[in-house]
Structure 1
Amino acid sequence: MTLENTTETDQLSGTKSRCDIQKREKGSWDSVLYTDEYPVWRDIPVRHAPGEGFEWNVDIGPGIDFADRIDPSFQECERIEPGTYRFVYWGITRQPQGTNYALAVQFRLGER
């Protein structure tokens, strides 16, 4: 997944680790990730010049593996089964109000 600044000016976001993978079940989205570490989501703004941003490389099979180290490190709550999922990034803030927004992309995992 890629987050890119498509404007002509620098933009700010939260840190790369403010993400989640959720599964759609019974009409709601539930996280499939957990961490043994104390999750510290620092409110440190990250500046993105035009054309820059974040890229997440995630291998999803029987488990979930983030190819790039993010902090905290995540593990799946249970075996990843076929179904409808979404990747969510919670690091978008609209200034000056400080309202937090999420960006999400939905995907489907089929049988292997």
Structure 2
Amino acid sequence: MSSVPACPQCSLENTYADGALFVCADCGHEWAAGDAAEAGVVVRDCNGNVLAAGDTVTVIKDLKVKGASIPLKQGTVIRNIRLIEDDAEHIEGHSDKIKDLVLKTIYLRKA
């Protein structure tokens, strides 16, 4: 595994070390080694909006839910989300019908 961290701006892992700096090949963002540890993980929705704990999101696609007999329909509102520590791709929350969901952020839009 590489010791180069993911980009704190776009959270993609296509990064490389350039002297004392890290550079993201996708967005061009440059940061020092100490800056990434201070910034933490930035969680973004499908449109690139930053998500925070307690936000409300909307599902953009019908999703099958493991352990549930009904799917999570497009347009379902998930209120009061919780962020998963050190994971920019998943959030926790619950809908009116299904409790204790872990959802990928690529299927969510900030409401």
Higher relative contact order (CA 8 A, sep 6+): 1
User: Which structure has the highest helix share of the two?
Assistant: 2
Provide the TM-score with structure 1 as the length reference. Answer: 0.25
Larger radius of gyration: 2
Provide the TM-score with structure 2 as the length reference. Answer: 0.25
